[in-house]
Amino acid sequence: MKNYIAHSEETRKELLSEISCTSIEDLYKQLPIKFKNFNCGNPLSEMETQKRIKALARKNGTDYAVFTGGGIYNKFIPACINYVAQRFEFLTAYTPYQPEVSQGTLQAIYEYQTMISRLTGMDIANASMYDAGSACAEAILMAHRITRGKKNKAFVSNNINPEYKEVIKTYCWAQGIEIEWFYNMPENCDTACCVLVQNPDYYGEVKAITKPGNTILIVTTNPAALSILKPPVEADIITGDVQPLGLAMEFGGPHAGYLACKEAYMRQMPGRLVGKTVDTEGNTAYTLTIQTREQHIKREKATSNICSNQSLMALSATLYLSLLGEKGFLQTGILSANNAHKLSQKLADKGFTTINKNFFNEFVIKVNNSDEFLEKLKKNNILGGIKLDDNKILVCATEMNTDEEINAYVNTF
């Protein structure tokens, strides 16, 4: 398979004749270009171009010690992941709409589903979602369907990621579902189709979760936290983002969301689901199953607007969990938690107050001036956290942060 096949001269002439042009120059003359002199400089060889691009890239200033979190985390990514995920068999493959078209891709998705189920303690997981925000919103719509649309209200914690909030607002507005935001668990939960909480929440706080009566409980969580925290098995639906599982930060994406639930709710799950079976000759085979999707003419009865999945991102997460194994995954969680608590203690010794009582690898500190605090760190090549308001900053540490970086953070002040 070749990456690029140039047009032949015969093909060029045929294409140009269709738009009444005799040459490429005639085509360019029709473009409304306002600038005649682009000042591109002299032509460069491939080697010279690479050197020039690298020199420009260095000006981006990406060599920072990273202490930011808030849903996107600086995690160690084994080199093998990109090597495998970028093989053309995976990289160029489109979502397998036909049930049995691509056994390799389907098997990879099946393994992903199995790993997410084990990680969350749920019975079943789908083939992945677009991101954590859409996974949360789809989970609310799923709960609304489970309750047969009789409860047009959803209780949602105010302490979830702000980006998830915006997606939830849009989805629920379109479906006519009222959102009631809360800080403390409401007493009348049975009046709503579901209760959605984040644990650890956006501010890093880890709380005990209890089932709110007979209402469907949705928990969104950082999968990296499940390396050392017990999965919230009290939940009916669990969602989150797989970015911490072997995906680079990439300026915020692309990433993938996950959604897992109890078996009783399987037929109301959004998105795609891969099952394992045998073919007519008794060989193991994989197939898309429980396909109540809009592309199968379900229209208004479709379980969601998700007709695809993030196969390549799910593959990367599968490779990550496979390569690290249970012990390696546990180790990354312990290192992250230790680094975060170490940084929190060192900041406390400097007079900064950590607001959180219980946290995994993110916590909130009080400062006199957030902008000055973060700017001072940035001058020392440290991305110190996310500004919450004028006096509060969300700080994160992972296994990637060294003792030298932690000391440099603290010694800045």
Segment 52-68, tens digit of pLDDT:
888 888 888 778 999 99
Report the distance separating Cα 114 and Cα 108, nearest Å.
10
CB 159 within 8 A of CB 201: yes
Q: How confident is the model at residue 242 (pLDDT cuts 50, 70, 90)?
A: very high
The count of other CB atoms within 10 Å of the CB of residue 368 is 9
Domains of the chain: 65-78+325-411 (3.90.1150.10), 80-318 (3.40.640.10)
What is the 8-class DSSP label of residue 224?
A: G
Q: Which two tokens stand for residue 378?
A: 């940035």
pLDDT band at 307; cut points 50, 70, 90: low
Greatest extent of the chain over all pairs of C-alpha atoms, in Å:
76
Distances (CA, A) of 143 to 39, 127, 132, 164: 58, 19, 16, 17
- Rounded average pLDDT over 240-269: 93
Q: What are phi and psi of 74, to 5 degrees?
A: -85, 100
Looking up tokens 């890093």 gives 204
Least confident of 28-37, 89-98, 194-203, 285-294: 89-98
Contact 337, 222 (CB under 8 A): no
Backbone angles phi, psi at 292, to 5 degrees: -95, 60
Please state the rounded mean pLDDT for residues 346-359: 95
Task: State residue 58's pLDDT score.
Answer: 81
Dihedral of alpha carbons 115, 118, 124, 129, sign: negative
